[in-house]
Chain A
Amino acid sequence: MTAIRVQSLHKHFDKVHVLRGLNFEVNAGEGVILLGANGCGKSTMMRCLNGLTKANEGQIHINGVCVQTASRKQLRQVRRQVGVVFQQFNLVNNLSVFQNVLFGAIGRQRWGLMGAMAPLANAEERDKAMACLERVSLADKASQRAESLSGGQQQRVAIARMLMQEAEIVLADEPIASLDPKSGREVMDLLWDVVRERGMTVICTLHQLDVALEYGERFLGMKAGTIHIDAKRDAVDKAILTTLYQGQVRVDGQQTQLATDTEVMA
């Protein structure tokens, strides 16, 4: 079954043509790693998938529903099925960890936020939120303020929020880019484990090729707003992936620096 279908997707920001006709499909349960240099349009593409950014041309179908033509209600329905893990975690800083996890339930609550606030939520949702926190081994931090946690812990809370959402598809946009290598590994292991446990479909963008090669089953490589590489695990190696970072022209027309060795190797 096709979970995500993207057809000739275009996106302009003013004069800058960021996405130039993307085409790909992702099957349900597939684990896809998306690679590409800074500015090649990865994040824009990810934001288009759940309608946070409106694409200009082309079509996106999530579980068969067209994101562009969806009504506001349908779009919210689509978003409920798509969990997002952000580079900057995006927790609400001065609320508790527990509350942040409960927010994952907003989409399915009839009264929206009212059903997902710690003092008002029903026992079932509260238990579910605690179970999600236990899954990411942070149950003991439930009543702490989100901002008091380390970066790695915050990202695990964000993963718990995504679990709470009971999404079928996960979009992780550079989930470990602001973490040190060790906590990055831990977060990546955790993310991949929970995704596999629940049989979720995942697209994850990464910058570290070594890490990417460890986790990915399929690789999408973007270059200058198009899909440059689309291959299974056994068909790629580091040399092929490194080409994504060479002779790179940014979508806004500026020449980027060549990726340094450390960046590619890291």
Chain B
Amino acid sequence: MNADQRAAMAAPARFRSPSIFIWVVIISFAAFFIQGFASADIRSDRLLQGLGNLGNFFAQSVPPDTSRLGPIFRAMLETLNMAIVGVTFGVILSVPFALLCSSNTSPNAVVRSVSRMIVATLRTIPDLIWALIFVVAVGLGPLAGILAIVMDTIGFCARFFSERIEEIRPGPSEALTATGAGRMSVIFGAILPESMASMTATSLYSVEKAIRSAVVLGLVGAGGIGVELSVSMRMFRFDQALTIILVILVVVIAVEQISSAIRKRVI
């Protein structure tokens, strides 16, 4: 073996100096972090005072006030309804969007990029902002919340459905195409059944996500238990607020347990 060959086989350097791109990322991250930390005015006396206030809040909220359990349960039910109705419509509408967004099912590139853009927009706008918009459009109440959840669900589900559709095995679709099936038959016969398990899991996850956001949507007046919570907080009835928070906690955990139990069975 001569010297040249030995040089060619030398192990790579132990450390590689980061590229300019990485340096830019590191420096801008550090700048944002330091600036953010400084401007938040984090001081030990404020943190201590906050701890005291938190103690006060808990002292006033225990024992939780259960006198208004009836209306609280009704509001919680409304929140659940908003989530279920919103997710159902959202998931149903996500399927055609996902098909239009996926490279293997979209009729052409223009339709694909337009629908991808629509879905990306739906996803980028936070649910709270959708709720504010729909409160203006249809007034206070659960309808605004439902519409906000529909938008949020399409933004989320259409994207993940479409990713799933793009990564399924091409074989079964080809097999159906080879029998003389048309495009729609291939989509409903092979593509959707092949992605069904993953789409169910995504839909269940979006139910969990919708319950959490339905709670928050009430804070801007879009119906449900959030309305109750914000009223109690504003009236400094922390004991009522604690009851509401506990009810929310129980329901959210229950929904997550149920959905993961279903998910285990479908996958």
Contacts and interface: CB of A to CB of B under 8 A. Distances in A.
Contacts of B180: 76-80, 106-108, 165
B200 to A, nearest CB: 11
B193 interface: yes
Contacts of A117: 189
A178 to B, nearest CB: 12
Nearest to B194: A92
Interface residues of B, number: 21
A104 B171 contact: no
B164 to A, nearest CB: 13
A103 B179 contact: yes
B179 A113 contact: no
B184 A79 contact: no
Contacts of B182: 76, 112
A94 B194 contact: yes
B179 A86 contact: no
A91 B169 CA distance: 10
A93 B174 CA distance: 14
A86 B175 contact: yes
A86 B169 CA distance: 13
Interface in B157-212: 169, 171-172, 174-182, 184-185, 188-190, 193-194, 196-197
A82 B177 CA distance: 11
A93 B175 CA distance: 12
A95 interface: yes
A106 B175 contact: no
Contacts of A79: 177-180
B105 to A, nearest CB: 15
Given A88-B171, A113-B184, A106 B189 contact: yes
Interface string A100-122: 00011011100011001100000
Interface residues of A, number: 31
A234 B133 CA distance: 80
Given A52-B174, A90-B174, A116-B189, A161 B197 contact: no
A84 interface: yes
Contact of A52 (B177, B181, B190, B193): B177
Contact of A94 (B171, B176, B177, B196): B196
Contacts of A90: 169, 171-172, 174-175
Given A94-B196, A107-B181, A84 B189 contact: no
Given A92-B194, A113-B184, A82 B189 contact: no
A80 B177 CA distance: 9
B178 A82 contact: yes
Contacts of A158: 175
A84 B185 contact: no
A201 interface: no
Contact of A112 (B171, B181, B190): B181
B174 A165 contact: no
B194 A107 contact: no
A226 interface: no
Contact of A80 (B169, B179, B189, B193): B179
A52 B179 contact: no
Contacts of A165: 179-180
B262 to A, nearest CB: 16
A248 interface: no
A92 B190 CA distance: 6
Given A94-B194, A113-B184, A103 B176 contact: yes
A205 interface: no
Given A106-B185, A113-B184, 19 more contacts: A76-B181, A77-B180, A79-B177, A79-B178, A80-B180, A83-B178, A86-B175, A91-B172, A92-B194, A93-B172, A94-B193, A103-B179, A103-B190, A106-B180, A107-B180, A112-B181, A112-B185, A113-B181, A113-B189
15 contacts: A76-B182, A78-B180, A80-B180, A83-B179, A86-B174, A88-B171, A90-B172, A91-B175, A92-B189, A93-B172, A95-B193, A103-B189, A104-B179, A106-B176, A107-B179
Interface of A: 50, 52, 76-80, 82-84, 86, 88-95, 103-104, 106-108, 112-113, 116-117, 158, 161, 165
Identify the 5 closest CB pairs spanning chains A and B, nearest first. A107-B180, A90-B171, A80-B180, A113-B185, A90-B175
